[in-house]
Amino acid sequence: MFQKILIANRGEIACRIIRTARRLGVRTVAVYSDADARALHVEMADEAIRIGPPQAAESYLDAERIIAAAKITGAEAIHPGYGFLSENPDFVDAVVAANLTFIGPSSASIRAMGLKDAAKRLMEKAGVPVVPGYHGEAQEIVLLASKAREIGYPVLIKARAGGGGKGMRRVDDPEEFAEALSGARREAKAAFGDERVLVEKYVDKPRHIEVQVFGDNFGNVVHLFERDCSAQRRHQKVIEEAPAPGMTPEMRAAMTQAAVTAAQAIAYSGAGTIEFIVDASDGLRPDRFWFMEMNTRLQVEHPVTEMVTGIDLVEWQLRVAAGERLPLAQDEIALDGHAFEARLYAEDAARGFLPSIGTLHHLEFPRANDALRVETGVREGDAISPFYDPMIAKLVTHGPDRPAALTALGRALDGTEVAGSTVNTAFLAALAADADFAAGDVDTGLIGRKQAAMTAIPPPSDGIVAAAALAATGIAERPISADPWSGLAGYAHFHATPQRTHLRLGEQEIVAQISVQNGGARIALETAAGGTLPVHPAAARLACWPGHITVFDGAAAYNFAVPDPLASADEAGVGADALRAPMPGLVKLVRAARGETVAKGQPLLILEAMKMEHTITASRDGVIDEIAAEGAQVSDGTVLVRFVEENDG
């Protein structure tokens, strides 16, 4: 076994690797950018070394700096985690050339599976079923459009490199093909440096089921059963589970054998995942699944496999890379119960899942136990950076069966508290509680069909508003955990007239009147009609931080702003006359010009942020007075487009 390894990654995966290494007595070296100088993985590791500025291209993607850090610290091996350089064969070659061990597959295996088109041709040759489509080298738009017509709409345009839904577009009509292809190529070029694509048949009721495989350097390959990752939005996974609901013995035997065959075809060593697309329109049938791609690394969702097999996949990675054989044979690996993983992100589900940044002023998870595992790389007080993936944590639950594991997931989401950044906790809870999802009737289109309902934010009850108002008066000098009245204990001051407290929830202005006498309080909310409505504060969980009060109600969080009465209104009140950047990003493409007349809903520019493209559309009909320049780097709230005021003229 290694004495010391360097982890070429950050966040929750770096923390996850450190925990296993520590248990095995292996010392760890963390690397960090300037943005991560005080990150949790830096604190947890035995040593840490700076590798550059916040931009990933100059730090976590800089192979030379990472290898130099390993040499300086005396690390024997490098664990890539996932993302960044984990599937870069040139990095693997450089690690080996530096007389270090890469904890993962060979560069040859990564190259064989690194490009989706070449990988599918290889799988066809090995006898693994492949989804119908065009996987050739030619990239002329006329040819691709012709192939799309031959395949039959709807089709899926996919970047041949990378993953995570980047460079992917569904096309339902030939008239939309050129625009979709252009967007997919731009996104693929930005994310992977390769704009080439493939075109495949879009399966009407697709499920995404993947098989965890593991190989060693002695020719042994096993599978650790399957995971269902069908609950997706914008082609990105949201909740994963193992095993797949509705899986039959015949389907499992066929799929796992295909996965093992795929890994054997490239002499695979280490942890890998074979991803299949499944036509679930007639249940799970052995003749209705096709190879999509192989991820030649550890997966984000690997904990669900660990929960149902009792196997530490990171430990296996370390042992295999150190030259050991696989610890278990296929007949020694068994399924035990059911597991779910929910990805907790800093994103605004109600606004199309826009990534969100901010400081985590309050962060609390339920206590881990046999039924719950929390994987995180952040702590209270940390900031969600615009430079990296906005994941906060993964909540992983286990139970003897699927209903028990799903119940545990619901409890975990209800008990999670995050304040300071908009998060997707309530959306995850709505998905977990959805009747179709609970019944196991899930496909990759489930969230899209029900997105409006799953992301809707119910208005807070009067009791929740009253609890926030009471906290805002300053009567309660500490965050109130269970009872908003507790802050009044021992308070005996007399107010002859009610205090008026102002709050803001989104665009809604709220005014409450609070009277306090001899430790008791009366609260009334002012109504639109000019009267007041007496209310009683709900028993609530609250977090108070400068200028804000967050009230938690189950998995929902209501963030009330407490306006500063001395603060003057500024340009933020321009309303419909300007469009602002919803997050920091790069203006990738500008589609309109100053003086141009545009219609409501018309695409005006594309903002690239958090590794994804976001189209900014006109909020109303009008004439453009100002528009951001292409290539401009903008911060959150920057005015991107300003319209000529309607009364100008």
Short-list 71, 10, 77, 2, CA closest to 45: 10
Short-list 119, 99, 104, 97, CA closest to 8: 104
Q: What is the C-alpha to C-alpha distance for residues 634 and 28, in angstroms, rounded to an integer? A: 37
Q: Is residue 27 annotated as a catalytic residue, yes or no?
A: no
Active-site entry in 252, 297, 343, 642: 297
Short-list 329, 332, 356, 328, CA closest to 344: 356
Beta bridge pairs of residue 212:
273
Q: Which of left, alpha, beta for 219 (phi over 0: left; psi -120 to 50: alpha)?
A: left
Short-list 416, 422, 412, CA closest to 346: 422
Q: What is the C-alpha to C-alpha distance for residues 171 and 175, in angstroms, rounded to an integer? A: 9
Is the distance from CB of 262 to CB of 294 less than 8 angstroms? yes
Q: State the pairing for strand pair 548-553/541-545.
A: antiparallel
Please state the separation of Cα 266 from the chain's center in Å. Answer: 30
CA angle centred on 483, ends 481 and 489, rounded to 5°:
105
Backbone phi, psi, residue 137, to 5°? -85, -35
Which residues lie below 8 Å from residue 401, measured CB to CB, with a gap of 6+? Answer: 337, 338
Residue 286 CA neighbour count, 13 Å, CB half: 11
What DSSP letter does each residue of 131-200 carry, written as one string? -SEE--S---HHHHHHHHHHH-SSEEEEESS--TTTTEEEE-SGGGHHHHHHHHHHHHHHHHS---EEEE
List residues with catalytic annotation: 297
